[in-house]
């Protein structure tokens, strides 16, 4: 898959600057009339050129404050994570999503920030075939992969609707489109992250999966114990439908992939 060269443009970044702080908000100006508000570019401008990342940005950039400074996190589709100065657009540092040697990374799902940690989900491809789906944690303050969270590889097996067989998570027919979500726990800690899967291009058959990952268990007991729940939306073990383009049947075609990610609602004391 080839990606065109892209740039972070001024319009987005000027708007993003509005949320950086209460006392200094780049790109924000009040005109002579107190009722009038205007936006001015922060970058790219003549003295502050745009940052070239060299790959498509499909996941949405995120605003964060790292060590007291506003930072823009951009996750490119090839797994290159860039941390930019949100006031100048200058790249601060970059890191690649970890993958086995010789495999290609595709990152489409918008990551989630948990304090100064960035949780990412991506797929690894071998000769164009998706062979695994992974979650990793980056420590933005230390500028490195967080060694307390060994890379997690998704997998699950759930009972089928017929009560006799099972459905397994199948990497070649799964794809992570939706933004990751984070939820705190009432007893504190890092909370839980949710990752959703459908397929790429509506090519049947495929299944919809939603995984709950307990970040505290992951850190204490490793990735093998981190997945605490998995939801399967299409529990069909037999998938007679084979469609090259377009989902035409409900059976074996229930992906969870809306770009903003699943909605989380509080329930009782949770």
- Among 5-9, 24-28, 187-191, top mean pLDDT goes to 187-191
Q: Would you tell me how many other CB atoms lie within 10 Å of the CB of residue 245?
A: 9
In a domain, 99, yes or no: no
For range 243-255, the mean pLDDT: 76
In a domain, 141, yes or no: yes
Each residue of 95-128: b (16+ CB within 10 Å) or e?
bebbbeeeeebbbbbbbbbbebbbbbbbbbbeee
Task: Write out the E strands in 98-224.
Answer: 104-106, 112-114, 117-126, 129-139, 144-145, 152-153, 157-159, 166-168, 181-183, 192-197, 209-214
**C-alpha closest to that of 121 among 204, 227, 264, 236:** 227
User: What residues does 121 pair with on adjacent strands?
Assistant: 135
In a domain, 211, yes or no: yes
On the question of pLDDT at 52 being above 90, the answer is no
CA 7-108-238 angle, 5° bins? 155
CB contact set of 145 (below 8 Å; sequence gap of 6+): 95, 98, 136, 137, 138, 139
The predicted pLDDT at position 30 comes to 45
For the chain, the domain total comes to: 1
Which of helix, strand or coil describes residue 91? strand
In a domain, 154, yes or no: yes
In a domain, 178, yes or no: yes
Query: CA–CA distance from 254 to each of 42, 64, 81, 238, 250 (Å)?
Result: 42, 33, 30, 14, 7
On the question of pLDDT at 145 being above 80, the answer is yes
For range 133-154, the mean pLDDT: 97
Q: Picking from 36-50, 132-146, 219-233, which range would have the lowest pLDDT averaged per residue?
A: 36-50
The predicted pLDDT at position 50 comes to 72
For range 81-104, the mean pLDDT: 92
In a domain, 14, yes or no: no
Say if CB 222 and CB 174 are below 8 A apart: no
The predicted pLDDT at position 61 comes to 93
Give the model's confidence band at 89: pLDDT under 50 very low, under 70 low, under 90 confident, else very high: confident
The predicted pLDDT at position 32 comes to 54
Domain that holds residue 151: 130-270
In a domain, 216, yes or no: yes
* DSSP secondary structure letter of residue 244: S
Say if CB 248 and CB 240 are below 8 A apart: no
In a domain, 245, yes or no: yes
Give the model's confidence band at 203: pLDDT under 50 very low, under 70 low, under 90 confident, else very high: confident
Distance CA(98)–CA(7), nearest Å, equals: 24
On the question of pLDDT at 12 being above 50, the answer is no
The predicted pLDDT at position 168 comes to 95
Position with higher pLDDT, 67 vs 217: 217
């Amino acid at each position: 898959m080839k990606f065109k060269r892209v740039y972070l443009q001024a319009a987005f970044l000027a708007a993003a600057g509005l949320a950086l702080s209460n006392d200094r908000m780049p790109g924000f100006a009040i005109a002579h009339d107190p009722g009038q508000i205007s936006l001015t570019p922060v970058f790219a401008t003549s003295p502050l050129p745009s940052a070239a990342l060299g790959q498509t940005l499909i996941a949405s950039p995120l605003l964060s404050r790292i060590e007291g400074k506003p930072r823009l996190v951009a996750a490119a589709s090839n797994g290159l994570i860039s941390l930019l100065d949100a006031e100048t657009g200058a790249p601060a540092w970059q890191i690649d999503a970890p993958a086995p040697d010789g495999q290609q990374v595709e990152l489409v799902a918008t990551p989630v920030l948990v304090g100064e940690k960035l949780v990412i989900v991506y797929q690894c491809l071998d000769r164009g075939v998706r062979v695994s789906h992974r979650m990793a944690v980056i420590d933005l303050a230390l500028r490195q992969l967080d060694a307390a969270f060994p890379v997690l590889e998704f997998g699950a097996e759930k009972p089928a609707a017929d009560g006799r067989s099972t459905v397994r998570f199948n990497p070649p027919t799964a794809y992570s489109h939706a933004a990751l979500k984070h939820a705190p726990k009432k007893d504190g800690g890092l909370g839980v992250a949710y990752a959703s899967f459908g397929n790429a291009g509506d090519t049947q058959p495929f299944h919809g999966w939603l995984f709950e990952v307990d970040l505290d268990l992951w850190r204490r007991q490793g990735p093998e114990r981190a997945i605490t729940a998995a939801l399967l939306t299409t529990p069909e073990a037999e998938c007679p439908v084979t469609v090259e383009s377009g989902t035409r049947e409900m059976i074996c075609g229930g992906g969870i992939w809306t770009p903003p990610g699943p909605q989380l609602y509080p329930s009782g004391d949770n």
